[in-house]
Amino acid sequence: MTQPLKYLKESPSQTAGPYVHIGCTPNFTGIEIYGGDLGTSMKRGPVKGQEITIKGTVFDGMGAALKDAMVEIWQPDAAGLFPSANETRGQADPNFTGWGRSPGDMDTGEFIFETVKPGAVPWPDGRMQAPHITAWVVARGINIGLHTRIYFEDEAEANAADPILTRLEHQSRVPTLLAKSEGDNVYRFDVWLQGPNETIFFDI
């Protein structure tokens, strides 16, 4: 007797692991546990500084949105201070976590972070870095999570003096690291894995 082809279904193909969302964002997948997913909210109460929303989509080399991507961000608060025991420059905003995690929408692939615009932080030699957010991307086809930075297009003066942006050999690619304002404190930052608009990734 021939076994039906649909008897056992193939596991979803995803380099980051076929069940990455179940493990990292179970509530997002419909498994209600722990009272909510870690990183969903970056605010514990009223926060200091400019509250912003960052939206974006991860695109593959063909320009298709990845609907199974997950993005994490790390950043300082509005004063440039990190909520860490190693922060020695001052007291960070106690109502701001500095870390967020967002799975892409399963229909559009769009990720969203409700956060604050980060303050400037010093480079090891004392020079100030332009306001930025560190981002980490995992999705199908990615063997190791990709690190990049989110700078802000409307911080032109700070960007022009940033120790990282100024040392990039191909300055024409700097725009791939710039979040663009869409008004009403909303910024868009799309991630391109390949192609002419490929985002700059950092080997860290």
The domain covering 20-192 belongs, at the CATH homologous superfamily level, to Aromatic compound dioxygenase (2.60.130.10)
Residue 27, pLDDT score: 87
Look at the alpha carbons of 17, 19, 23, 26 in this order and tell me if their dihedral is positive or negative.
Answer: positive
Residue 4, pLDDT score: 67
Beta strands in the chain (DSSP E): 51-59, 70-74, 99-103, 110-116, 133-138, 146-152, 178-183, 186-188, 191-192
- Residue 82 CA, chain-centre distance (Å), reads 17
Q: At 126, which amino acid appears?
A: G
Residue 194, pLDDT score: 92
Beta bridge partners of 151: 178
Domains of the chain, by residue range, sit at 20-192
CA 128, CA 120: separation in Å to the nearest integer?
A: 6
Residue 11, pLDDT score: 61
Residue 14, pLDDT score: 53
Tokens 């332009």, located at residue:
130
pLDDT tens, per residue, the chain with 204 residues = 566 666 666 665 555 655 677 778 888 888 898 888 888 999 999 999 999 999 999 999 899 999 889 999 999 999 999 999 888 999 999 999 999 999 988 899 999 999 999 999 999 999 999 999 999 999 877 778 899 999 999 999 999 999 999 999 999 999 999 999 999 999 999 999 999 999 999 987
